[in-house]
Structure 1
Amino acid sequence: MEFETKYITPDIKLSEFKGKGFKTEVIFEHHILVWFISGETKIIQADATYTFHSGDIFLIPRNQLTTVINYPKDGAPHKAVAMHLTKERLKDFYARHKAVGRIVSQPKVYRFSKHPLLESCLASLIPYFDLGENLPPDIAAIKIEEAISILRSIDKSVDGLLADFEEPGKINLSDFMERHFMFNMTMDRFGYLTGRSLATFRRDFKKTYHTTPQKWLTEKRLQLAHYEMSEKKRKPIDVYFEVGFENLSHFSSAFKNYFGYPPNSLFNK
């Protein structure tokens, strides 16, 4: 089996991937704390790209368009423990603990590489995965609260993220789309993240761009791909997924239809 996931609670899992590579685009419903055991992960968001290796610990914020690319490395599988910090658990925590400073959400990926306290907290879960036993609910609650407390002791600013329970409000559509067009999401999700119903999203998009979302997204993605290949000399197979296409054949066909020549011809000039 190339991909295996073991759960000891619905919010704590161990994943292991032994294939050549695994790519996905997601919007995480909850903040996720990840301890990276082996392999390599690249996380691409609108404003930054992060690469993580064995021993790294990081926190991915919820409601952010994210491309995740996982690879085995150095003969070891891609293996990681992930803990979901749900809104319900965080609300309960902050009902008992006062947040530090003003709550201003910072939708960035937090890095806590090889921190001994966090690593010890997450490593203590491994025996439950090995035994194939569920973690008792009271122990699971203790471990998650321990992780939250350690995060707050390491980085005082993390309260700005963890104690923010607001859902996305209506925001400037043009600013959002220009920063996130390369993420292959449904129109429903684009609407949700800009604080709009699907109908309102389509109507506001038409007013802003005088075209349909699908046509605009395809053209923007192709233009970005052209830049990556012509200026940075990247190959089509390394570009198509990152700019928002699901497969290479669809990308190549759309590229040729739009520019009048196939993407490979850029490397023959």
Structure 2
Amino acid sequence: MICEEKVTEHMLAFIFSGKMIVYNSSKKIIIHAGEAAFIRKNHLVHKIKQPIGSTPFNGVFLHLDSRLMKDIASLITIPNIKLNDTLGKQLYIPIEKNNFISGYFRSLDKYFTESNSPSHKLMKVKLQEMLIILIEQKPQLIPMLFDYTPAWRTDLQEFMRNNYLSELSIEEFAHYSGRSLSSFKRKFAKMTGGETPARWIMHKRLDAAMTMLKEGLAASDVYIRVGFKNLSHFSNAFKKHFGVALTQVS
């Protein structure tokens, strides 16, 4: 099963069985059974949940609601740790296996296998438990965990650079960047000196195609990778942009 998700709050995932592939335009990771992962907010990701043989996929996903995080932050002691720049740019951060993490998620799974869902009050207590575990087991996550930057108001230049190969309409690019269509277009025009989103995306895809062709990939493979619907359209756009035919690239 493939899911596309706009991750507007930090998310913790734990896989009980099967595996889950998480990827965006620049990164792909696999989370196996028994593994936990921290996925940063403000990302557009795809998740593929796969069984292993006859064993179905089963996992728990905990969304770290920023409002609850603020409440809990006033109740517990949070060490003052500086953000690691490299870690802060990663989409996915693995959580090392230990009894605290696996025991927590196994206890949480039991709540969702019953007929009734846990109350808001109970989930707040469980979230506090998880945060204490993470503070003790993975303290380098603290600067990200308690970052209250508004959800999904991402840097537009970085977002477009990371996602221009995604199969999204202009309306979807605006939505997933956290903006209205009109706000998106205004910001984009200011960012690029007046270039339209559609033209910018086209040029970026063609530049990526040129790189792939020079690396030896066949045009029949490249046009699909860079988001064109057919080879004819790709060939015409490529020649118009670069002034040379596909067959002249070496």
Asked if these proteins are the same fold (TM beyond 0.5), I'd say: yes
- Once residues 114 and 232 of structure 1 are traced to their aligned partners in structure 2, the CA distance between those partners, rounded to angstroms, is 41
Over the aligned positions, Cα root-mean-square deviation in angstroms equals 3.7
Q: Contact 1:56–1:113 (CA<8 Å) still a contact in 2?
A: yes
Point out the more displaced range, 227-236 or 109-118.
227-236
Alignment match, 1:12: none
Q: Deviations over 1:131-155 (max 9, x none)?
A: 2221133322221111111111111
Q: Structure 2 counterpart of 1:56, which letter? A: E
Task: List 4+ stretches of structure 1 deviating above 6 A.
Answer: 234-239
Q: Contact 1:55–1:113 (CA<8 Å) still a contact in 2?
A: no
**What 5-or-longer segments of structure 2 have no aligned partner?**
240-245
Q: Contact 2:19–2:33 (CA<8 Å) still a contact in 1?
A: yes
Alignment match, 1:5: none
* 2:8 counterpart of 1:32: no
Percentage of matched positions with identical amino acids: 19
Alignment match, 2:204: 220
Q: Contact 1:35–1:80 (CA<8 Å) still a contact in 2?
A: yes
Cα distance, 1:58 vs. partner?
A: 0.5
- Once residues 164 and 175 of structure 2 are traced to their aligned partners in structure 1, the CA distance between those partners, rounded to angstroms, is 12
1:1-269 maps to which residues of 2 (within 5 A)? 17=1, 22-24=2-4, 26-45=5-24, 48-102=27-81, 104=83, 106-108=88-90, 109-167=92-150, 174=157, 177-184=160-167, 186-189=172-175, 192=178, 197-207=183-193, 211-224=195-208, 227=211, 231=215, 240=224, 245=227, 250=229, 254-259=233-238
* TM-score scaled by length of structure 1: 0.69
Point out the more displaced range, 232-241 or 74-83.
232-241
Cα 1:107–1:64 shift into 2, 3 Å: farther
- Which protein shows a greater Rg? 2
Q: Deviations over 1:53-77 (max 9, x none)?
A: 1111001111123333333333333
**What 5-or-longer segments of structure 1 have no aligned partner?**
1-16
Local SS of the residue matching 1:125 = helix
Q: Structure 1 counterpart of 2:59, which letter? A: A
Q: Structure 1 counterpart of 2:16, which letter? A: I
Point out the more displaced range, 183-192 or 71-80.
183-192
- Once residues 229 and 149 of structure 1 are traced to their aligned partners in structure 2, the CA distance between those partners, rounded to angstroms, is 50
Q: Contact 2:12–2:38 (CA<8 Å) still a contact in 1?
A: yes
- Once residues 162 and 142 of structure 1 are traced to their aligned partners in structure 2, the CA distance between those partners, rounded to angstroms, is 17
For these two proteins, the number of residue pairs brought into alignment is 232
- Once residues 214 and 7 of structure 2 are traced to their aligned partners in structure 1, the CA distance between those partners, rounded to angstroms, is 33
Q: Structure 1 counterpart of 2:130, which letter? A: A
Local SS of the residue matching 2:201 = helix
Local SS of the residue matching 2:229 = helix
- Once residues 237 and 119 of structure 1 are traced to their aligned partners in structure 2, the CA distance between those partners, rounded to angstroms, is 42
Q: Structure 1 counterpart of 2:183, which letter? A: S
Q: Contact 1:35–1:57 (CA<8 Å) still a contact in 2?
A: yes
